Amino acid sequence: MARRAPWLAGLVAVQLLLIVAVRGRFVVEKSSVRVLAPEHIRGHHDAAIGNFGVPDYGGTLTGVVIYPDKKSTGCVEFDTKFKAKSRRPVILLLDRGECFFALKAWNAQRAGAAAVLIADNVDEQLLTMDSPEASPGTEYIDKINIPSALVNRAFGESLKKMAQKVAAGDASGGEEVIVKLDWRESMPHPDERVEYELWTNSNDECGARCDEQMEFVRGFRGHAQLLERGGYARFTPHYITWYCPEAFRLTQQCKSQCINHGRYCAPDPEQDFGRGYDGKDVVVENLRQLCVHRVANESGHPWTWWDYVMDYKIRCSMKEKKYTKTCAEDVVNALGLDLKKVLECMGDPEADAENAVLSKEQQDQIGSGSRGDVTILPTLVINNVQYRGKLERTAVLKAMCAGFKEGTEPRVCLSPDMETNQCLHRNGGCWRDEATNVTACRDTFRGRVCECPSVNGVRYEGDGYTDCQAVGPGRCALNHGGCWSETRGQQTFSACSEHALTGCRCPPGFHGDGHKCEDLDECREKLACTCPDCHCKNTWGNYECKCKGNQLYIRGEDVCIANSMSKLGWLITLVAVACVAGVGIAGYVFYKYRLRSYMDSEIMSIMSQYMPLDSQNNENQPLRQHDSEALR
């Protein structure tokens, strides 16, 4: 029985999956491809987003389409790196067929492509390119970091022809094939809150898929709790279950994989009914985790679900044989949740009746609106659109941030983790001051923006693309506010004035527009030192003026005056000084001997009226009796 068990488990799992797939509803998530050049093939086209790599949700990518003349399927590694003549990013166009879609994207990434378009080889509706199941030789899947998309056959053929003409030099004017990939409308962003759900499983023995989702929970937990605490997002966990056909409900397979008499089932974790845990153990724990979220939500702390799932993974692992009810309830109690409410929510797994929580999960599993059926794990749905791409912390956060109405994104969306690094390439086409390395380019999760910055309290104003000017107090401290400045020897002149909040003006002694100033020759221009007895000599930023003979130059009046006095003049000056000194001495003597003695007598007279004199012997009178007693 043990040897046949894996085959039987697989058979039942396939049967259960077929029951869901018969009425399946699949939705292909799309991005837009806009051809910018050559002009005669301009237009908009749809492309199906690949379910691997990192789609640039909320952003765009403009690049040059290159179609390789060899290895056009991309199934083997390319010998060279692809580069565009215009230095734009390369969008590699490949043919469908012969290998996995993901392998084509991986080889394109290693060949220097920024994105990959795969042209369909049959006339059909667009489909979602999925990644293969983890197996030896598919380790590259987690390393794919570029976006990919499938385009229809007709559009792919037209791109190929134009790209081949460019490569052969036959295109008019040698014009490259330039397209713009646009993911801005791939993620709905109706309001200021994002609603998202994760379809997952408590089973930790399902290989690479389980490892991927637990790694995501571990890495994304902090972001998820921050977003929900701030009211920016609402998260709902979901768990896939199947039901066992009524004809099989009494079989050992259904009994071991299902609860509530075959109504809710999950595959055997080890795919072996003879050992380890059963599928029904997984269903019960899935139900418990759903109820943990419900109880936590009722208490106003829905983000506790992330803590429970992470703690349960660490403390109650299947691999360590701790995947038990007792361990789970210990985690519930440790997190301060009401265990009684959790048990009431779960109900009786052995009852021959429907479970309200799991029945709703089966209903939610069926697609509606813009979302298709959920058939694989893990599946992330954001604003009712299935997320496509790598289930990785930064990639998912970027997709979620694209789900906010533009301008309402929380701070976490503007963190360094979300930068697109577009500013690293030619400064993103934005303004930059080479002297101070101040730039108007700023990376965001939606792509780079060109906005004049604020640096060290100094604000810049301008269009951000070609010009930014420092304004306000302190602007001259940063490269002289972008104005002209020059130093020669110990002298420095600047066209930036601390007294002006904007603009540049050449300082006195210079002329120009403030961004370029040249020395003004006051002597040649007759602007100074023009008196008859003056001799003018120009200097950098100034001038020197000397007078003939022993004369002095008065700069303010631009005149020369005599610099000598007669003997009579000196005599008069000495007499005047002596007179002033005599008056001062006489005043001092008068104050000391007459005025001071008079004032002293007046002061003594006034004081005698209010204070007893020594002759009255008042100082010898004893203290009052009660005063002396108070001191004892």
- Residue entry with tokens 């408590």: 202
User: Torsion over CA of 261, 266, 270 and 276, rounded to 10 degrees?
Assistant: -40
337 CA to centre of own chain:
34
* Dist. CA 428–CA 444, nearest whole Å: 12
* Dist. CA 59–CA 444, nearest whole Å: 9
* Dist. CA 490–CA 546, nearest whole Å: 23
Residue 509 confidence (pLDDT) above 50: yes
The pLDDT of residue 582: 74
Among the listed ranges 17-31, 60-74, 179-193, which one has the minimum average pLDDT value? 17-31
Under 8 Å between Cβ of 83 and 75? no
Under 8 Å between Cβ of 504 and 475? no
Cβ-based neighbour number of residue 303 at 10 Å = 18
- Residue entry with tokens 């389980």: 210
Under 8 Å between Cβ of 159 and 177? yes
Mean pLDDT over 593-598 rounds to 60
Structurally, what CATH architecture does the domain formed by 189-413 represent? Answer: 3-Layer(aba) Sandwich (3.40)
* Dist. CA 611–CA 237, nearest whole Å: 97
* Dist. CA 148–CA 128, nearest whole Å: 10
The edge-to-edge listing of strands for the beta sheet with 194-200 is: 233-239, 194-200, 379-382, 385-386
Q: Which fold has domain 30-182?
A: Glucose Oxidase; domain 1 (3.50.30)
Under 8 Å between Cβ of 16 and 114? no
pTM of whole model > 0.75?
A: no
Mean pLDDT over 80-109 rounds to 93
Under 8 Å between Cβ of 329 and 315? no
Residue 108 confidence (pLDDT) above 80: yes
The pLDDT of residue 8: 38
pLDDT one-digit tens code per residue, 416-467: 655 566 788 778 788 888 888 889 888 766 667 788 888 887 888 888 888 8
Among the listed ranges 200-204, 553-557, 578-582, which one has the minimum average pLDDT value? 578-582
